[in-house]
């Protein structure tokens, strides 16, 4: 049971009112949806863009704003699930893409920009060898294959509730409404996320709770005893799909120690934490260096891109030709030009001060609103990322997220936001991404919408 103590009847009543308000404001989106749904399931390109009864459609973005087909100017705290920390149509990124366009957009032949981006990543993330792909899913899929080839093992370990993309290896143990279904904490049952995933894949992926290093080690030891020692542990150093859940002090160090001791390849999936939390992501922030890193999202400043970093030792399976790490669009010149401009001209160390300033304001002011109305919620923030947790107890892993977070309230907050000129990532997670082009006015708007919500649910 969520611990927010907000009457579900009140939430339902407010949701109905806000849904009606949104419907009245979005007739053009509704029309587009009717057309879209004829040829696109749910009327969208990806199920993550869908919304019941229909999504809001957009035309363009500039700076911290996106513009809907219904003519609304909306402060973007969604930022393409965290891709657009640079903000929309940043002049340096636009110029880099335009200049590159004139010179040809795809060769499947190497170009200098990819070398320059790899040099930056090696310096920032402290791993020497890099390869490029086109998305986070590709990055995690290939990283896992590299780890399997390196160790000669098949089982993989992940954190329960963490998302690492949409391929079979990792669409496992992502979400569950009732923990009774998956058994005890020291022996979670592997469960598929949606249909179409082979049982063999499901069985090969073992999940453990976040922020619990002793439990992880115990599970590794059980798997060793069963003759299926994991090839790798893939994890986000800070979980970013349950709001934001930070690692407890000492946790990442312990994980590093345990994986090293047992010869399990440690993969930090920095698709969300990389770039958005520091130029060198979680590695820089917490000072723990894994064996491999996966990047995507903010790396390409809005163009499809991803990267895999690794130690010399691990990446030797690619160097030696043992693993075919390949792709027609890998190192695409447009993506590489955007990534280079982002690293060299936009995501420079001083812009993180601006992100810190804005995030601190958001956190302090949302906390002040919660205190004013004695509303059971707390904030978590790190650089461009943050969230309000609608819970009075701390969320440290998926189990406590299910137990404490009020999910109905999260859905209502999304509606309050969109009706007040703010968009954030849909779904349970309620995580914001600020961009370097956000200003005080965007923060004022967010806090005002939050106060409206808190005022109404505590009346
Ligand atoms: C941590 C993490 N890894 C991997 C992915 C998959 O990235 P993509 O959607 O680009 O395939 C995501 C996407 O949200 C993610 O959050």
429 falls in which pLDDT band (50, 70, 90)? low
Q: Whose CA is nearest to atom 8 of ligand 1?
A: 136
Q: How far apart are CA 124 and CA 275, in angstroms?
A: 10
Question: What percentage of the chain exceeds 70 in pLDDT?
Answer: 98
Of all atoms in ligand 1, which is nearest to the CA of residue 304? 10
| Higher pLDDT, residue 354 or 243 | 354
Q: Indicate where the chain has its CATH 3.90.1150.10 domain(s).
A: 8-76+350-457
pLDDT, residue 430, reads 64
Point out the catalytic residue in the list 76, 142, 212, 269.
269
Q: Whose CA is nearest to atom 13 of ligand 1?
A: 165
Point out the catalytic residue in the list 251, 297, 398, 446.
297
Compute, in angstroms, the gap from residue 47 CA to the centroid of ligand 1: 14
Q: Is the CB of 164 under 6 A from ligand 1?
A: yes
pLDDT digits (tens, 9 = 90+) for 98-115: 999 999 999 999 999 999
DSSP for 202-220?
A: HHHEEEE-TT-HHHHHHHH
Q: Is the CB of 426 under 6 A from ligand 1?
A: no
428 falls in which pLDDT band (50, 70, 90)? low
pLDDT of 193 above 70: yes
89 falls in which pLDDT band (50, 70, 90)? very high
pLDDT digits (tens, 9 = 90+) for 358-378: 999 999 999 999 999 999 999
Task: Provide the pairing of β-strand 385-389 with 431-433.
Answer: antiparallel
Q: What is the mean pLDDT of the chain?
A: 95
pLDDT of 279 above 90: yes
Q: Indicate where the chain has its CATH 3.40.640.10 domain(s).
A: 91-346
pLDDT of 421 above 60: yes
Task: Mark whether 269 is an active-site residue.
Answer: yes
The Cα-based distances of 379 to 33, 401, 436, 459 in angstroms read 35, 14, 20, 21
- Which of 45, 138, 165, 272 maximizes ligand 1 atoms within 8 Å of its Cβ, making it the mutation to test the pocket? 165
pLDDT of 241 above 90: no
pLDDT digits (tens, 9 = 90+) for 195-218: 999 999 999 999 999 999 999 999
- Which of 271, 425, 429 maximizes ligand 1 atoms within 8 Å of its Cβ, making it the mutation to test the pocket? 271
Averaged pLDDT for residues 301-314: 98
Q: How far apart are CA 130 and CA 284, in angstroms?
A: 17
C-beta separation of 326 from 145 below 8 A: no
Averaged pLDDT for residues 140-167: 97
Compute, in angstroms, the gap from residue 165 CA to the centroid of ligand 1: 5
Task: Mark whether 316 is an active-site residue.
Answer: no
Q: How far apart are CA 166 and CA 66, in angstroms?
A: 26
pLDDT of 182 above 80: yes
175 falls in which pLDDT band (50, 70, 90)? confident
Closest alpha carbon to 299 in 74, 82, 52, 34: 82
> What is the model's pTM?
0.97
pLDDT of 1 above 50: no
C-beta separation of 8 from 408 below 8 A: yes
Question: What percentage of the chain exceeds 90 in pLDDT?
Answer: 90
Q: Is the CB of 159 under 6 A from ligand 1?
A: no
Closest alpha carbon to 117 in 132, 102, 106: 132
245 falls in which pLDDT band (50, 70, 90)? very high
Mean pLDDT lowest among 1-10, 153-162, 273-282, 420-429: 1-10
Point out the catalytic residue in the list 33, 57, 163, 446.
163
C-beta separation of 230 from 157 below 8 A: yes
Q: Is the CB of 142 under 6 A from ligand 1?
A: no
pLDDT of 41 above 60: yes
pLDDT, residue 181, reads 82
* DSSP-based three-state secondary structure for 48: helix
Please report which residue ranges of 342-397 form alpha helices under DSSP H: 351-372
Task: Mark whether 385 is an active-site residue.
Answer: no
Mean pLDDT lowest among 165-174, 293-302, 320-329, 386-395: 386-395
Task: Give the sheet arrangement for strand 292-295, strand by strand.
Answer: 129-133, 306-310, 292-295, 265-269, 232-235, 156-159, 205-208
The CATH number of 91-346, from 3.40.640.10, 3.40.50.620, 3.40.47.10, 1.10.10.10, is 3.40.640.10
pLDDT, residue 3, reads 53
Q: Is the CB of 305 under 6 A from ligand 1?
A: no
* DSSP-based three-state secondary structure for 133: strand
What CATH class has 8-76+350-457?
A: alpha beta
Q: Is the CB of 385 under 6 A from ligand 1?
A: no
């Amino acid at each position: 049971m969520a611990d927010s103590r907000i009457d579900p009847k009140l939430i339902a009543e407010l949701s109905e009112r806000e849904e009606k308000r949104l419907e009245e404001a979005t007739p053009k989106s509704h029309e587009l949806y009717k057309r879209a749904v004829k040829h696109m399931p749910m009327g969208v390109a990806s199920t993550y863009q869908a919304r019941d009864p229909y999504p809001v459609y957009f035309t363009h973005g500039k700076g911290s704003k996106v513009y809907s087909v219904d003519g609304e100017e909306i402060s973007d705290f969604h930022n393409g699930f965290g891709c657009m920390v640079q903000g929309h149509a940043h002049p340096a990124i636009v110029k880099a893409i335009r200049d590159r366009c004139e010179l040809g957009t795809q060769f499947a032949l190497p170009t200098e920009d990819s070398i320059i981006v790899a040099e930056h990543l090696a310096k920032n993330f402290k791993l020497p060898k890099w390869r490029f792909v086109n998305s986070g899913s590709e990055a995690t899929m290939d990283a896992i294959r590299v780890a399997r080839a390196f160790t000669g093992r098949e089982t993989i370990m992940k954190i329960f509730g963490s998302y690492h993309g949409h391929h079979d290896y990792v669409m496992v143990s992502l979400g569950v409404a009732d923990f009774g279904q998956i058994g005890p904490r020291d022996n979670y049952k592997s469960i598929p996320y949606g249909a179409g995933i082979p049982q063999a894949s499901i069985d090969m992926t073992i999940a453990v709770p976040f922020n619990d290093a002793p439990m992880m080690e115990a599970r590794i030891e059980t798997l060793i005893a069963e003759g299926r020692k994991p090839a790798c542990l893939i994890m986000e150093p800070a979980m970013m799909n349950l709001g934001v859940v930070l690692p407890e002090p000492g946790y990442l160090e312990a994980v590093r120690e345990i994986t090293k001791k047992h010869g399990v390849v440690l993969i930090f999936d920095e698709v969300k934490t990389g770039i958005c939390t520091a130029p060198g992501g979680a590695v820089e922030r917490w000072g723990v260096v894994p064996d491999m890193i996966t990047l995507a999202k903010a790396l390409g400043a809005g163009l499809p891109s991803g990267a895999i970093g690794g130690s010399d030792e691990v990446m030797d399976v690619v160097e030696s030709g043992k693993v075919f790490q390949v792709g027609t669009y890998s190192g695409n010149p447009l993506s590489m030009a955007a990534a280079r401009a982002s690293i060299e001209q936009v995501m420079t160390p001083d812009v993180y001060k601006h992100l810190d300033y804005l995030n601190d304001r958001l956190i302090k002011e949302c906390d002040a609103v919660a205190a004013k109305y004695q509303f059971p919620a707390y904030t978590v923030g790190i650089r461009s990322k943050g969230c309000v947790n609608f819970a009075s107890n701390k969320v440290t892993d998926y189990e406590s997220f299910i137990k404490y977070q009020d999910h109905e309230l999260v859905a209502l907050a999304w509606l309050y936001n969109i009706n007040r000129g703010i968009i954030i990532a849909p779904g349970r997670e309620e995580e914001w991404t600020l961009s370097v082009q956000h200003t005080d006015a965007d923060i004022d708007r967010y806090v005002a919408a939050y106060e409206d919500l808190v005022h109404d649910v505590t009346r």
